[in-house]
Amino acid sequence: MPSSSIFWSPAPYHIISYGTLLGSEMFQSFIAGIIAFRALPRPQFATLQSALFPIYFGMQTALPLLMALTYPAERTAIGMSQSSISGVLEEGHRLHVATPLFLTLLCGAANMLFIGPATTKCMKERKHQETRDGKKSYDSGPHSEAMQNLNKKFGILHGISSSVNLVGCIATVWYGFYLAERML
């Protein structure tokens, strides 16, 4: 059993934050989203994703910040490196620590604050257009010009959001390789 002093160390909270971030990214991006798309009718799938994404993108934004705050010091041949934000920003840590943490945070924030809301707004506009047209956005054509434009806009926004999310996932894995290297 570890000593009670480990509870006051930032290290376990850092590892738990990293595991939560990576696990949620992999599960939402590559398992839950795909299964939900296959298992649910489109309206329910859209409702589910609209409810999940703000939480998911919030976690993808907050957890890298928590990881930076709990970044543990490291024993070196000449002493100890710094911990927390100052350790993340040390010159030797900028590429493999600060960059992937910042990228993940930036990707989550971009999706949470800009891309996600724009995508949700476009989905609502498509729903209104479906009512006007009497036809679902995903039904086979022909579609009204307005629906064609909304479908194109949604496709672009969804593609951007997915790409930004993928960059965040890659940055998280990149940081994981650095974290594993510290354990050697």
Q: What is the pLDDT of residue 2?
A: 62
8 token code pair:
């006051």
Note the pLDDT tens digit of each residue in 54-93: 999 999 999 999 999 998 877 766 766 676 787 788 888 8
Q: What is the pLDDT of residue 49?
A: 94
Compute the distance between CA of residue 88 and CA of residue 99 in angstroms, rounded to an integer.
9
Q: What is the pLDDT of residue 1?
A: 56
Domain ranges for the chain, please list them.
Answer: 4-183
134 token code pair:
């009497």
* Rounded (to 5) percent helix, strand, coil in the chain: 80, 0, 15
The answer to whether 21 and 63 have CB atoms below 8 angstroms apart is yes
75: three-class secondary structure by DSSP: strand
153: three-class secondary structure by DSSP: helix
Note the pLDDT tens digit of each residue in 89-103: 888 888 998 999 999
Residue ranges in the chain modelled with pLDDT below 70? 1-4, 76-77, 79-81, 83
Q: What is the pLDDT of residue 47?
A: 94
